Amino acid sequence: MLQIYNTLSKEKAPFVPLNEGKIKMYVCGITVYDFCHIGHARVMVAFDVITRYLRSQGWDVDYVRNITDVDDKIIKRAAENGESPEQLTQRMIAAMHEDEAKLSVLRPSQEPRATAHIDDIIALVATLIEKGFAYPASNGDVYYRVEKFASYGKLTNKNIDELRSGARVGVEAAKESPLDFVLWKAAKEGEVSWDSPWGKGRPGWHIECSAMSKCCLGDTFDIHGGGPDLPFPHHENEIAQSEAANGCTYVNTWMHAGPVRVNSEKMSKSLGNFFTIRDVLEKYNAEVVRFFLARVHYRTYIDYSEDSLKEARVMLERFYQALRGVEINDTVIENDFDARFVEAMDDDFNTPKAISVLFELVNELNKASREGTPDAGMLAAQLKRLGGILGLLQQDPAAFLKGEDKEGELSSDEIEALIQQRAEAKKAKNFAESDRIRDELSAQGVILKDTREGTTWFRES
């Protein structure tokens, strides 16, 4: 039975959906003011793997991932660029979709944008005011009364008294309490804004997700996910807003992906160790990056380094080497690999254990290939199918192993030309020249394999 670790309860528990066979899942998406970084990729891939697996087991998954397209950072960056916020967000959304496609991340079922839900946001704020959980302030903002929500802090075990004692007093004179957070922000001169009962303004960040999730999935849904920096205050505030307004449980299961560190340090622009997805994909094959992200349990931190990417490349090559030259046979073979893979994934989506099962399957495939048994084609089909659940192993093995042409390396055309010269040398019985070309290619990291059908090649990691 599927078990999921719940951030709220701090333990794994059997997953019981609100509606049999259906899963309603909301994951906090990107604030689109810049290109997506490797931390974003980690969350994207983690919940893509989760969604793919659930669907492979017959679940009907309604996967909602929002886009924050109005925000202080967006307004500031657009002004710096001399463009409108809409122009900036449209460019960044297009870039995000390009990055996702390269990483084989499927598009969510629904992708709501905050600016398309302004009416829903205003209605939710009005409900909170009516119920006494929010108040319009003298500065034109609307704030949430944190201390009125008795269970505030339950997701992250925050104590309201400790929060109060640690809060900065007098940060905003219009607030009743320094703990209160903004739901609706009064517009400043020249800023994008919308009409509301409290004057022109725009939504605060936290209220956007409460409104969009309610609109897309209802008052209560099964799973809410996000990155490691979101439990406090963002998700804590979402719970306070939604449960106060709707009078019911907001989310049954909370899931959070682990952080990405760079050479064991926190990733930040100030440390000079900040990498966008585009930076990474300029150096590494996209499937290698996806494998690197997927092979670590989604709740565990990932250490990004040159060595860890190279290791991922070597591991992925083992799969494609096993698949290369094997004729796929879709006849189902009887073994326990499927059951063990499912057992691993049912244990809170344990991808490291699932991938270890795939490596055992590779060993069986290699053995069958060496012995020339008909099981090889069936095992190869099983490997591709199970790998596909993780969004992996769907490329042509020979194409993957040849790799992408990179600056400073022999191009594919140059390699093919040298292989042809070697073939002509062998035909002329000039074996010294044939060996010289093989050695030249080997020195460049190109490995040749001679078969009856001709010579194939791949790049060594």
Instruction: List the strands of the sheet with 265-266, edge to edge.
Output: 265-266, 260-262, 302-304
Same domain as 143, residue 211: yes
Alpha-carbon distances of 444 from 124, 282, 403, 461, rounded to whole Å: 62, 20, 13, 11
pLDDT tens readout for residues 310-326: 999 999 999 999 999 99
Nearest Cα residue to 17 out of 48, 57, 66, 69: 57
pLDDT tens readout for residues 135-194: 999 999 999 999 999 999 999 999 998 888 766 644 567 999 999 999 999 999 989 999
Same domain as 47, residue 89: yes
Same domain as 187, residue 220: yes
* Other beta carbons within 10 Å of 307: 9
Per-residue pLDDT averaged across 442-450, rounded? 81
Per-residue pLDDT averaged across 79-96, rounded? 97
The residues near 396 (Cβ < 8 Å, ≥ 6 apart) are: none
pLDDT at res. 327: 95
Q: Are strands 221-226 and 22-31 parallel, antiparallel or unpaired?
A: parallel
Same domain as 223, residue 187: yes
- Helix (H) or strand (E) segment spanning residue 224: strand 221-226
* CATH code where residue 354 lies: 1.20.120.640
Q: Which of 157-161, 169-173, 261-265, 442-446 has the highest mean pLDDT?
A: 157-161
pLDDT at res. 406: 64
> Furthest-apart CA pair in the chain: how many Å?
92
pLDDT tens readout for residues 282-295: 989 999 999 999 99
What's the mean pLDDT when you consider all of the chain?
93
Residue 16: domain span: 3-257
Same domain as 201, residue 266: no
pLDDT at res. 238: 98
pLDDT at res. 167: 67
Same domain as 237, residue 365: no
* CATH code where residue 83 lies: 3.40.50.620
Cβ(299)–Cβ(6) under 8 Å? no
Q: What is the DSSP string of 379-393?
A: HHHHHHHHHHHTT-S
27, pLDDT greater than 90: yes
Boundary residue ending a domain (219, 239, 257):
257
- Show binding-site residues for Zn(2+): 28, 209, 234, 238
Boundary residue ending a domain (237, 257, 277):
257
Q: What are the tokens at 33?
A: 């003011």
Same domain as 397, residue 411: no
Q: How many residues does the chain have?
A: 461
The residues near 439 (Cβ < 8 Å, ≥ 6 apart) are: none
- Show binding-site residues: 28, 209, 234, 238, 269
Same domain as 377, residue 249: no
Q: Phi, psi at residue 193, to the nearest 5°?
A: -155, 165
Same domain as 298, residue 240: no
Total domains, the chain? 3
Q: Any alpha helices (H) in 131-235, and if so which ranges?
A: 160-166, 205-217
Same domain as 423, residue 397: no
pLDDT tens readout for residues 414-426: 888 888 889 888 8
Boundary residue ending a domain (257, 281, 314):
257
Task: Return the ∠ at Cα 274 (arms to 268 and 275), rounded to 5°.
Answer: 155
Cβ(249)–Cβ(243) under 8 Å? yes
Same domain as 270, residue 174: no
Nearest Cα residue to 294 out of 105, 461, 109: 105
- Show binding-site residues for ATP: 269
Same domain as 227, residue 94: yes
C-alpha–C-alpha distance, residues 185 and 125, integer Å: 11
> In angstroms, what is the C-alpha Rg of the chain?
27
